[in-house]
A and B are shown apart, each in its own frame.
Chain A
Amino acid sequence: MNIEKQTVCVSCVMDTTDSKITFDEKGVCDHCNTYFHDILPKWNPEGLDDKELYELAAKIKKDGQGKDFDCIMGMSGGIDSSYLLYLAVEKLGLRPLVFHVDAGWNSQEAVNNIERMVDGLGLDLYTEVINWEEMKDLQLSFFKSGVSHIDTPQDHSFFANMYKFADKHGVKNILTGGNYSTECIRNPLEWMYYQSDSRQLMDIHSKFGSSPLKNYPVTNILWHKVYLPYIKGIKVTRPLDYMVYNKEDATQLLEDKFGYQRYPQKHFESRFTRFYEGYWLPEKFGFDTRKVQYSSLIVTGQMTREEALEKLKLPAYDPETIDEDFEFIANKLGISIDELRGYFNAPNKTYKDYKNQQSIYDVGAKVMRALGMEKGGKR
């Protein structure tokens, strides 16, 4: 096989649109190799043992004794967080407070699903609503900057709010739906830079924003990766890592039990994220996040490479609705379609063109991996 001309991995579907991809002598990419060599041995989905999960749950219950809730769970209305909620309550007997951040882009399906899950499981819901005028200004700043990670304003606010809440209310345990089953292969940094890098966020806003950020929550990597866990003892747990998590089975179960509404693709709970991952990222930058998602499913045996390649033949966005979506995004951001088009056609920039804390992340990642506390991770 002529490896010089290879563009696609033989094992998954990651390819050279990830400009840093490398292939070994068998034609297997470094994403797969990281999974097989670094993640799989420590994770081992076949030999997964409930025990560790139940021990974890017991600790969370203990930490939360006497309180109104024993943990908080970030809920977007998406399948991962919804399934986790079900698991946490019905299997682990936890009492989570469901935490949702409204960044102004909720789809009707997401709102409906949150309602169904919260009602179906008899839980309490807490929301933080981001000031829309500020969010709009921040999102426009990112469009103007030309970088690829324009969903940072939403993502950053989700985590910042959750950490702030946990800190403020003395909540020791945060549960998230992140999981190796569907996310063991991560979006390359080139595609989606760290959303928590506040230096980058503030720099882009200072260069392109038009009004000050008064209410928007800002976090930073040292605060939530060092201070909160090690000084304040606030732990983030990913229960879905402790089990075999099959997305299709999970979706079916939620549909049957709670009347959950299925989404056509990952991240469709936010109309902006749908537009971003379905259109902006692939069409402007050539970064198709489906390759990442499908590759994760392929290596964990939930999808075949052939299926993935077939699906990738079609565009990531729906050609039927894309004009409408484009107009919707422009209208919502208070700009004309031409202006949005202008940003689309403007030169592509990267996170390196703006101030960033990447060096801190690099150090942190090395330390975590050395201590065996993080498997894989972004690169």
Chain B
Amino acid sequence: MIGIIDYGSGNIQAIKNIYKKLKIECKFVSEPNQLDGVDEIILPGVGAFDEAMTQLNKSGLREVLDLMVLEQKVPVLGVCVGMQIMAESSDEGKLAGLGWFDAQVKLFDENIINHKPKLPHMGWNEIQPKSDHPILTSINFEKGYYFLHSYYFECHDENDVLATTYYGDAFHCAVNKGNIYGFQFHPEKSHSNGINLFKNFAEL
């Protein structure tokens, strides 16, 4: 059973619609006791870093998520800001992140973006995979995914990088450490590439 964390941030309905169409069981989780029976977690998120962290802390899910992800090694997939909050901290905010990755979230340096528009990074962009991971099966890398963000994730450990995308410079658009996955783009709004990513995650 896939648990989509409903803490007030992110397009949870779109993700549920995708799993519904794939006929893969999933449910919204807004309280700790709803995590019973959940063996894979999706952590969505949009908007500002601090706002997302505040809401997650308020939801009462923080502790049980740390336990499930870090101790029990339950697979978790973070989307957009849901991925960003897995870092230690963000340029965008003052609060600490979940710290699941040894990483920082930084603002794109407009000086190295030598075209207009500059920010946010908005639209369909390719991804360059770093390895042949099963979660990237059947993905059309040239078609890529839809991005909508001004801050990007920077892993300190190169081994955590699953894929990069070029915007001004190459940045980490997909990360993975053991059971933890994070994607900067919006797979729930990237047509077949997105559907395949969610499907692959469920089948891990």
Contact = CB atoms under 8 A, between A and B. Distances in A.
Contacts of A320: 23
A324 B21 CA distance: 8
B11 to A, nearest CB: 19
B192 to A, nearest CB: 14
Contacts of B21: 324
- The prevalent SS among residues of B at the interface is helix
Interface in A305-330: 320, 324
A320 B22 CA distance: 10
Interface string A194-236: 0000000000000000000000000000000000000000000
Interface in A363-377: none
A320 B21 CA distance: 10
B25 to A, nearest CB: 14
Contacts of A324: 20-21
A290 B160 CA distance: 56
A324 B20 CA distance: 9
A273 B20 CA distance: 24
Contacts of B20: 324
A233 B133 CA distance: 69
Interface string B21-46: 10100000000000000000000000
Nearest to B21: A324
A324 B17 CA distance: 11
A324 B19 CA distance: 12
A128 B50 CA distance: 52
Contacts of B23: 320
A257 B23 CA distance: 36
A371 B167 CA distance: 76
Nearest to B23: A320
Interface of B: 20-21, 23
3 contacts: A320-B23, A324-B20, A324-B21
Task: For the complex of A and B, list the 3 residue pairs with the smallest distance between their C-beta atoms, beginning with the closest.
Answer: A324-B21, A320-B23, A324-B20
